[in-house]
């Protein structure tokens, strides 16, 4: 049986007065509840914040992001403007590795991804044009072209890709650090036991599957490296 989609709920009001009254929060909570009632989603946690939408350093939003990444969950908000009116910030969600759904505009997340895809495509086309121009110029200079042609990117492109992968792996390990530390403190210390405990908590491995002892060891090694370099 397929597991229901896990969701993390984020609610925000702009002023302390709204926060104390609970009216804005309760209205958002009701909107989210009504939306989830028509789905097979399972709410894992709720984060509430009293902060202006123009600020990006929101602790509860950061905590919601971390929880969403940890559980491979979707971030659910009542209205799109509760997250941010800043388009650049919304696009940054993709970099944060967080999918989101706005109850008043469920297709918004797809729209953002679509915008990013268009931008990425434009960048790829520009890179392709520059690469072709460089190859043409090299050929005109008499440079012999040959060898493996499956990848025409530069060494810098490859290094950037490796750096991005490493950064994502570091972020995933960091998100898992608190949970693993809690398990170890409770006496769950072997690799196999940690894998079983993470699976029981419905925290997926890096590629979305179940944990194994080998995958746990890799995360622990990465955490050890991060602590040494800190």
Question: What pLDDT, on the 0 to 100 scale, is given for residue 46?
Answer: 94
Question: What pLDDT, on the 0 to 100 scale, is given for residue 55?
Answer: 61
| Least confident range of 74-83, 104-113, 142-151 | 142-151
Tell me which residue has tokens 């709920």: 9
Would you call 84 a catalytic residue per the annotation? no
- Cβ neighbour number for residue 144 with a 10 Å cutoff: 7
Residue 159 has pLDDT above 90, yes or no: no
The confidence band for 151, taking pLDDT boundaries of 50, 70 and 90, is very low
Q: Which of 14, 52, 107, 186 is catalytic?
A: 14
CA dist 98 and 75 (Å) reads 7
Question: What are 114-128's pLDDT values in tens digits?
Answer: 565 456 556 657 777
Question: What are 32-47's pLDDT values in tens digits?
Answer: 999 898 888 899 999 9
Task: Confirm if 72 and 208 have CB atoms less than 8 A apart.
Answer: yes
Question: CATH number of 6-106: 3.30.420.10, 3.30.9.90, 3.40.462.10, 3.40.50.1390?
Answer: 3.40.50.1390
Question: What pLDDT, on the 0 to 100 scale, is given for residue 117?
Answer: 47
| Least confident range of 1-5, 54-58, 84-88 | 84-88
To the nearest whole number, what is the mean pLDDT of the chain? 77
Question: What are 136-150's pLDDT values in tens digits?
Answer: 777 777 766 555 445
The confidence band for 18, taking pLDDT boundaries of 50, 70 and 90, is low
Here the tokens at position 62 are: 């950061």
Strand order in the sheet with 6-13: 42-50, 6-13, 74-77, 99-102
Question: What are 164-212's pLDDT values in tens digits?
Answer: 777 878 888 888 888 999 999 999 989 999 999 998 888 888 777 789 9
């Amino acid at each position: 049986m397929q597991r229901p989609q896990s969701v993390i709920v984020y609610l925000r009001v702009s002023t302390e007065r709204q926060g104390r009254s609970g009216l804005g929060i309760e209205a958002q909570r009701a909107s989210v509840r009504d939306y989830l009632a028509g789905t097979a989603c399972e709410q894992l946690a709720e984060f509430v914040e009293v902060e202006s939408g123009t600020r990006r350093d929101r602790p509860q939003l950061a905590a919601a992001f971390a929880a969403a990444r940890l559980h491979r969950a979707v971030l659910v908000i009542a209205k799109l403007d509760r997250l941010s009116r800043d388009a650049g910030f919304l696009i940054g969600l993709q970099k944060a590795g967080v999918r989101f759904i706005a109850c008043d505009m469920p297709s918004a997340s797809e729209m953002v991804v679509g915008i990013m895809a268009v931008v990425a495509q434009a960048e790829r086309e520009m890179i392709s044009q520059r690469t072709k121009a460089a190859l043409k110029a090299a050929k005109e200079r008499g440079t012999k072209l040959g060898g493996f042609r499956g990848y025409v990117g530069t060494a810098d492109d490859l290094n950037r890709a490796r750096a991005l992968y490493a950064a994502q792996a570091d972020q995933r390990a960091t998100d898992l650090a608190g949970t693993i530390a809690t398990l170890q403190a409770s006496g769950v210390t072997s690799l196999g036991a940690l894998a079983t405990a993470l699976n029981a908590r419905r925290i997926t491995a890096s590629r979305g599957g179940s944990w194994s002892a080998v995958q746990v060891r890799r995360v622990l090694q990465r955490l050890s490296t991060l602590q040494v370099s800190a």
